[in-house]
Amino acid sequence: MPRTTIRYDGEESRPADAFVTLVDGEAAETQFADEYDTLSGDEELVLGELPLGRSVIIEWREPDEPVVIAEHEVVPSTRASIEYDPDAGEITVQHRNGRTPPASELELQVGRTPADVQPADKLDEFGPNDSFTASVPPLSRVRLVWTGGDHKHHLGGTTTARDAVAATYDVDSEAMTIEYVGEQPADPERLRVSVNGTGDLRGREDDQESAFAAEHDELTMGDTITVDDIGLDDTVVVSVHTEFENGAATSSVAHFSGVPRRGFVVDEGAGDSDGSGTTLRYIGDVRRDADAFEVLIDGEPASTQPADEMDRLTGEETLSLGDLSAGTTVTVEWSAGDETQIVTENVIPPEATFEVAYKSNEDGEGGVVTFTHAGGDALGADRVDVVVEPATDGLRPWDSDDEVTDGDETSVTVDTEPGVAIVVFNESEVLHREPLN
């Protein structure tokens, strides 16, 4: 059982005996004055293992009348994960860490309403490796709370089927089509759509009634709505809306922008049947026409373009670029009308190994760190830097005019004991990292 600890964080020093700690209204067995004369900052008082729900109060008794300066209820440190299975339409609630509260003191809520299945229906207590399942509608705000005290305490939560909406953007008509792609039927009233433009912090707040509900009685896979007048700088925000007794809550589950916010990732060693080569993989969150993208290799169009292989990019499509040498720059541009922007830029890192040696000075004050290229690709010296933490201030160029090849060395003189040595390529890619202490 975790210990309850009180820490003094006052800005002024005060006598320790001016403070009294109460547990459920009674003086605690141990007080600050038992361990300290003066409290000046960060002093701690360990109360031990207190049962859940106990009230801890700190009183300041220098004034004529005691003043309560802190009040705390002992709540579980439990953390729970909640994962949704779209095929089964169920959530799995898993104990991750923390205390083991009685299941009777836990409540599973959908919205703010108790779910049909409760932890106590499945378990006696909720501890390590414990889990339970419950059927929950898609697009629901779900949370597990502890109810054993004066106030409910949040242990974990999620929104089910967060990935159940997809979008397709038509540049010419400036229209964003939002599609429901969930496995389970959903209540369209749960979804709200708003549009945020550049510099528009509030966005268009005209979707107080769900645009989905206006067109669909129930959402099933493939149902769509279209949002018009979406410019390149606009973002369509899809949110889950939940109403409860004392108010409502809205949490966004998707942001679909006119201009790509994400483009491609470069996967190395996945392009050919033998596992070699370089591959581009589309990770954009909006479905887009493939011919709007152009791939450049060191500034020149690649021999194969996305439009050669597919009409539309919807997610996870790949394009093989073949074997690219270290230092090659892969760029992907997206064009709409007169506007072109880079959505991906990646430099192929080299495959090279390094060795690091440190020789300290005789007086023990600093020494010399030597980096040696120990095999692999030759590197352009202008793209290689070294770092010795904490001695160097930022990146330090490799001391060479041309290439860094097998056996080449560079040294850094340091005034203090070094902690770690790093070789960096292209100012961003760490090729080698070695602790020295």
What is the CA angle 182-291-275, rounded to 5?
A: 75
What pLDDT score was predicted for residue 29?
A: 92
Determine the Cα–Cα distance for residues 184 and 133; give it in Å rounded to an integer: 17
What pLDDT score was predicted for residue 110?
A: 93
Q: 309 with 234, same domain?
A: no
Q: 343 with 356, same domain?
A: no
Q: 183 with 239, same domain?
A: yes
Q: 328 with 269, same domain?
A: yes
What pLDDT score was predicted for residue 205?
A: 47
Q: 186 with 239, same domain?
A: yes
Residue with tokens 């369209």: 188
Q: Which stretch of DSSP H or E encloses residue 236?
A: strand 235-244
Instruction: Give the burial string for 364-388 (b: 16+ CB within 10 Å, else e).
Output: eebbebebbbeeebbbbbebbbbbb
- Using DSSP, state whether 51 is helix, strand or coil: coil
Q: 295 with 357, same domain?
A: no
Instruction: Single out the residue in 202, 235, 257 at which a domain terminates.
Output: 257
Q: 116 with 149, same domain?
A: yes
Instruction: Give the burial string for 152-189 (b: 16+ CB within 10 Å, else e).
Output: ebebbebbbbbebbbbbbebeeeebbbbbebebebbbe
Question: N- to C-terminal Cα distance for the chain?
Answer: 37
- Using DSSP, state whether 384 is helix, strand or coil: strand
Strands 379-380 and 403-404: antiparallel
From the list 69, 119, 107, 101, the residue with the least C-alpha distance to 2 is 101
Q: 26 with 99, same domain?
A: no
Q: What is the CATH number of the domain that holds 381?
A: 2.60.40
Q: Which domain holds residue 252?
A: 165-257
Gyration radius of the chain over CA positions: 30
Instruction: Single out the residue in 233, 257, 281 at which a domain terminates.
Output: 257
From the list 411, 388, 414, the residue with the least C-alpha distance to 399 is 411
Render each residue's pLDDT in the chain as its tens digit; 437 residues.
578 899 999 889 999 999 999 999 999 999 999 999 999 989 999 998 899 999 999 999 987 789 999 999 999 999 999 999 999 999 999 999 999 999 999 999 998 899 999 999 999 999 999 999 999 999 999 999 999 998 899 999 999 999 999 999 999 999 999 999 999 999 999 999 999 875 454 444 445 458 899 999 999 999 999 999 999 999 999 999 888 777 888 889 999 999 998 889 998 765 454 545 899 999 999 999 999 999 999 999 999 999 999 999 999 999 999 988 888 899 999 998 888 999 999 988 888 999 999 999 888 788 999 999 999 988 889 989 999 998 888 899 998 778 899 999 999 999 988 999 999 998 888 999 999 87
Structural domains of the chain, count: 5
What pLDDT score was predicted for residue 202?
A: 45
Any idea what DSSP says for residue 349? P
Q: 334 with 280, same domain?
A: yes
Determine the Cα–Cα distance for residues 191 and 238; give it in Å rounded to an integer: 7
Instruction: Single out the residue in 35, 52, 73 at which a domain terminates.
Output: 73
Q: 175 with 234, same domain?
A: yes
Any idea what DSSP says for residue 382? G
Residues 6+ apart with CB under 8 A from 209: none
Q: 387 with 341, same domain?
A: no
Residue 28 CB-half CA count within 13 A: 25
Any idea what DSSP says for residue 406? T
From the list 371, 354, 355, 353, the residue with the least C-alpha distance to 413 is 371
Q: 275 with 248, same domain?
A: no
